């Protein structure tokens, strides 16, 4: 009878040659498709071949150690054979084929197989549980990291929303929002000793030329360079970019205007240094508006409006300089603005009216024509002369509408002067530059003449000399059409502009109105050298005008002596207080000043 040792040894001897490869292929076929396996079929078979050999070795080993099953189960999970179906097929194939395919025999082989399968499933379950826990921990860590990253990204985004809400993205300077906050704090909550505050409002001169000629990329780089220079030149002050080429410097704790003037001069010096941008050497200048005042009684809006106005003063003075806020000038400009803003409504309400001043013949004293002069019956300021509002209307473009009203009203009233015992005078109306350059001027005048019934020869249009000397062809063409209709064309204030009589040869002009500056000198005695010079100038103008078949009217005639001397040099007509002050038409028509007895012959003709 054999010993226990010999019996145990016999149990480890297979009945036939081992075929682990056959079993591994069957195992691989059984688990294929039960879960995603990140390996090829050959790699799967190689893995299961190795596990098969470990299981076989465990079944043969003496003493039997079932813990190998734990390792096999864990390796199956590690190889991603980790589904319930995969485990079931593994148990099934091991139970049905392992012993048979490997030819294993032993008295307790069934018992060993059961224990081994138990450890395989246990190892499998533990590994799957551990993997699940690891995955959960990984997910938890990933979630924590994702949340941390999201929070960090949110903080970064909020921070960026704040280099975007309070800083200029191009220059990285504080923007309008941050500047306004600081200015409001400086005014609303001033620190001890900060009783005054100042600002320098800076704008680059002719920056548009850089953009238009060199491109916006060069313009942007120039702004970056200017911002850097301002920041370096004024490190103790808040420098902000408001937009475009506008910058502003906040000067806190000022004690006097000079504190802010020094800042402005430092800024001008910094900007004025040549700068090289994209291969171009650029020299730019700036204009600065300066405001410095006590914080009490002011607001950020008032301060910046004052600085803006002052900046425009510096621009209007030629640029490359600073200007200091002047309260009186500011009040005057505000009043002018209010007056200009009221013009359209004043036209609608009928607040404008016309006075007329006679243009009198120096030969016989008859009224040849009258000049229409617009007045404004302002409800608060009283009667305003054209000097108070014409320039405003020209600046704002309202002169087109106002001038159109004056032309229409003058034509309407002039037509009513017909039917008297003497020929009715013509009416002379000033046309602004904008009116002359309007495409519809001819149609407008034609329509007025047709509507009012005023003969064309009784309308005279006065044009400034500079307008007539324009190189634009369309205004001259329009005036030629009007002249062909019979409308008189006069040049007003002749002698104050180009004074080019030769140029007038080709223009549709019928009359020259000589500027009053030349007539003023005729007040002095004839022996006065300056007076004689003015007289000779006038005589030359009259002679040349007559050579061009033009009549001459002298403006600003205030004395009989001036009238006599003008008559002596051949001037055709005069206008001024001597012949009559502006007034309603009915008070002027038929009224003429008496000419000196030496100047008028017995037949009423002008004497020599």
Percent of the chain predicted with pLDDT > 70: 90
Distance CA 431, CA 404 (A): 9
Strand partners, 200: 249, 290
Please tell me which residue, 529 or 411, carries the higher pLDDT value.
411
Q: What per-residue confidence (pLDDT) applies to 3?
A: 39
User: Which has more confidence, 310 or 494?
Assistant: 310
How large a percentage of the chain has pLDDT more than 90? Answer: 55
pLDDT digits (tens, 9 = 90+) for 149-175: 888 888 877 776 667 789 999 999 999
Q: pLDDT higher for 179 or 529?
A: 179
Residue 590 has pLDDT above 60, yes or no: no
Q: Is the dihedral of CA 261, 263, 264, 269 positive or negative?
A: positive
Q: Comparing 14 with 573, which gets the higher pLDDT?
A: 573
Among candidates 420, 399, 488, 422, which has minimal Cα distance to 449?
Answer: 488
Residue 10 has pLDDT above 80, yes or no: no
Q: For residue 503, is pLDDT > 90?
A: no
**pLDDT at 341 > cutoff 60:** yes
Average pLDDT over residues 9-29: 63
Find the radius of gyration of the CA atoms of the chain. 52
Task: Find the range with the poorest average confidence among 105-119, 132-146, 239-253, 473-487.
Answer: 105-119
pLDDT per residue as tens digits for the range 81-91: 888 888 888 88
Mean pLDDT of 185-197: 85
- Residue 604, pLDDT > 80, answer no
Which of 95-109, 157-171, 374-388 is most confident? 374-388
In this prediction, residue 278 carries a pLDDT of 87
What's the average model confidence in pLDDT over 109-128?
Answer: 86
Q: Which structure tokens are listed for 460?
A: 């005279």
pLDDT at 501: 62
Q: What is the pLDDT of residues 228-255, one digit of tens each?
A: 999 999 999 999 999 999 999 999 999 9
Judge whether 438 and 472 are in contact, CB under 8 Å: no
| Class of residue 544 by CB neighbours under 10 A (exposed 0-12, middle 13-18, buried 19+) | middle
Q: What angle do CA 377, 378, 380 make, to 5 degrees?
A: 140
* Strand order from edge to edge, sheet including 238-243: 238-243, 246-252, 196-204, 286-294, 321-324
How far CA 36 is from CA of 42, 44, 81, 134, 537, in Å, comes to 15, 12, 8, 19, 111
- Beta partners for 574? 360, 554
Tens of pLDDT, residues 383-407: 999 999 999 999 999 999 999 999 9
Q: Is the dihedral of CA 13, 16, 22, 27 positive or negative?
A: negative
Position 365 confidence tier, pLDDT thresholds 50, 70, 90: very high
* Residue 11 bridge partners (DSSP): none
Average pLDDT over every residue of 58-80: 86
Contact between 512 and 490 (Cβ < 8 Å)? yes
DSSP state of 181: H
Mean of per-residue pLDDT scores for the chain: 87
pLDDT computed for residue 605 by the predictor? 30
Measure the CA angle with vertex 300, ends 299 and 305; round to 5°.
100
Can you state the angle between helices 20-31 and 41-60, rounded to 10 degrees? 120
Residue 195 to residue 398: CA distance in whole angstroms: 44
pTM of the predicted model as reported, rounded to 2 decimal places: 0.64
Residue 202 has pLDDT above 70, yes or no: yes
**Cα distance between the two ends of the chain:** 179
How high is the pLDDT of residue 592? 46
Sequence-ordered list of residues with C-beta below 8 angstroms from that of 491, at least 6 positions apart, any chain: 462, 463, 464, 465, 468, 504, 509, 511, 512, 513
Average pLDDT over residues 318-336: 94
Question: How many angstroms separate the CA atoms of 321 and 300, rounded?
Answer: 24
């Amino acid at each position: 009878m054999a010993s226990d040792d010999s019996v145990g040894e016999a149990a480890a001897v297979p009945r036939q040659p081992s075929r682990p490869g056959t079993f591994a292929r069957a195992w691989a076929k059984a688990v294929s498709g039960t879960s995603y396996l990140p390996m090829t079929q050959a790699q799967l078979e190689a893995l299961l071949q190795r596990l098969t050999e470990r299981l076989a070795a465990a079944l043969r080993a003496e003493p039997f150690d079932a813990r190998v099953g734990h390792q096999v189960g864990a390796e199956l999970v590690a190889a991603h054979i980790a589904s319930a179906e995969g485990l079931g097929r593994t148990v099934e194939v091991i139970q049905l084929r392992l012993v048979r395919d490997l030819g294993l025999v032993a008295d307790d082989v069934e018992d060993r197989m059961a224990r081994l399968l138990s450890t395989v499933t246990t190892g499998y379950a533990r590994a799957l549980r551990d993997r699940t826990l690891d995955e959960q921990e990984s997910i938890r860590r990933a979630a924590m990291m994702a949340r941390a990253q999201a929070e960090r990204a949110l903080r970064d985004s909020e921070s960026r929303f704040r280099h975007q809400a309070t800083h200029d993205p191009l220059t990285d300077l504080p923007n309008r929002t941050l500047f306004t906050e600081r200015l409001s704090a400086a005014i609303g909550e001033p620190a001890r000793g900060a009783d005054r505050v100042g600002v320098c409002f800076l704008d680059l001169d002719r920056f548009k030329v850089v953009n238009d000629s060199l491109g916006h990329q060069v313009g942007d780089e120039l702004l970056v360079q200017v911002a850097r220079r301002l920041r370096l030149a004024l490190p103790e002050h808040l420098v902000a970019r408001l937009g475009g080429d506008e910058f502003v410097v906040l000067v806190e704790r000022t004690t006097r205007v000079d504190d802010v003037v020094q800042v402005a001069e430092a800024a001008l010096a910094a900007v004025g240094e040549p700068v090289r941008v994209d291969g171009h050497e650029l020299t730019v200048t700036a204009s600065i508006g300066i405001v410095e005042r006590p914080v009490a009684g002011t607001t950020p809006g008032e301060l910046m409006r004052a600085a803006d106005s002052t900046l425009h003063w510096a621009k209007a003075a030629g640029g490359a300089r600073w200007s200091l806020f002047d309260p009186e000038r500011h009040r005057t400009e505000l009043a002018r603005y209010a007056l200009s803003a009221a013009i359209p409504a004043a036209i609608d309400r009928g607040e404008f009216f016309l006075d007329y001043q006679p243009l009198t013949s120096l030969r016989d004293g008859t009224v040849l024509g009258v000049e229409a002069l617009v007045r404004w019956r302002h409800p608060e300021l009283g009667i305003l002369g054209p000097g108070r509002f014409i320039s405003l209307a020209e600046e704002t473009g309202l002169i087109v509408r106002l001038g159109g009203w004056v032309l229409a009203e003058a034509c309407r009233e002039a037509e009513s002067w017909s039917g008297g015992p003497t020929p009715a005078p013509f009416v002379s109306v000033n046309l602004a530059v904008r009116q002359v350059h309007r495409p519809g001027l001819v149609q407008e005048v034609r329509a007025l003449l047709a509507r009012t019934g005023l003969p064309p020869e009784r309308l005279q249009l006065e044009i400034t000399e500079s307008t007539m000397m324009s190189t634009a062809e369309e205004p001259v063409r329009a005036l030629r059409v009007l002249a062909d209709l019979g409308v008189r064309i006069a040049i007003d204030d002749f002698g104050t502009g180009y004074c080019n009589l030769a140029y007038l040869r080709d223009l549709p002009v019928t009359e020259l109105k000589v500027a009053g500056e030349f007539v003023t000198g005729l007040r002095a005695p004839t022996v006065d050298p300056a007076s004689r010079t003015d007289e000779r100038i006038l005589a030359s103008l009259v002679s040349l005008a007559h050579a061009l078949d033009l009549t001459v009217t002298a403006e600003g005639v205030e004395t009989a002596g001036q009238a006599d001397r003008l008559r002596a040099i051949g001037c055709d007509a005069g206008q001024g207080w001597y012949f009559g002050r502006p007034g309603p038409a009915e008070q002027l028509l038929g009224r003429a000043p008496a000419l000196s007895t030496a100047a008028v012959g017995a037949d009423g003709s002008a004497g020599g």
